[in-house]
């Protein structure tokens, strides 16, 4: 999983380096593992909003999370399992690469 922090206009992105400057810019997520991690985080955030009462049309985030990640339990326990899965995924990435992700403090 590789995350690149894009610099503002006019600055060059150095090949393969993490750019963690505080300048405004976009974040580019590359690789299958990075995309899957982003999906996991987005679904976790959506489930948290659903817990606070926000609704959506169609299938609920709760049921999507249960199907995709084979989780069981009520909404609160599924949310806790999703948070644990995010932490576990992030920790395993850090152990493999021995470097922090750009959005984390070293």
Tens-place pLDDT, residues 48-65: 999 999 988 999 999 999
Q: Which residues of the chain have pLDDT under 70?
A: 1-27, 97-106
Q: How many whole angstroms separate alpha carbon 23 and alpha carbon 25?
A: 6
Q: How many whole angstroms separate alpha carbon 57 and alpha carbon 45?
A: 17
CA distances from 69 to 40, 43, 59, 80 (A): 9, 11, 15, 13
Confidence at residue 9, expressed as pLDDT on a 0 to 100 scale: 46
Confidence at residue 67, expressed as pLDDT on a 0 to 100 scale: 95
Confidence at residue 52, expressed as pLDDT on a 0 to 100 scale: 93
Whether the model clears a pTM of 0.75, i.e. scores above it, the answer is no
First to last CA, the chain: 18
Confidence at residue 81, expressed as pLDDT on a 0 to 100 scale: 95
């Amino acid at each position: 999983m590789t995350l690149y922090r894009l610099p503002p206009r006019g600055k060059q992105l150095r090949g393969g380096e993490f750019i963690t400057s505080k300048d405004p810019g976009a974040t580019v997520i590359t690789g299958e593992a990075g995309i899957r991690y982003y999906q996991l985080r987005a679904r976790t955030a959506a489930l948290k909003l659903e817990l606070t009462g926000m609704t959506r049309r169609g299938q609920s985030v709760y049921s999507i999370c249960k199907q995709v990640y084979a989780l069981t339990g009520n909404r609160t326990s599924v949310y806790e399992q999703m948070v644990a899965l995010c932490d576990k995924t992030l920790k395993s990435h850090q152990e493999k690469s021995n470097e922090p992700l750009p959005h984390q403090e070293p």
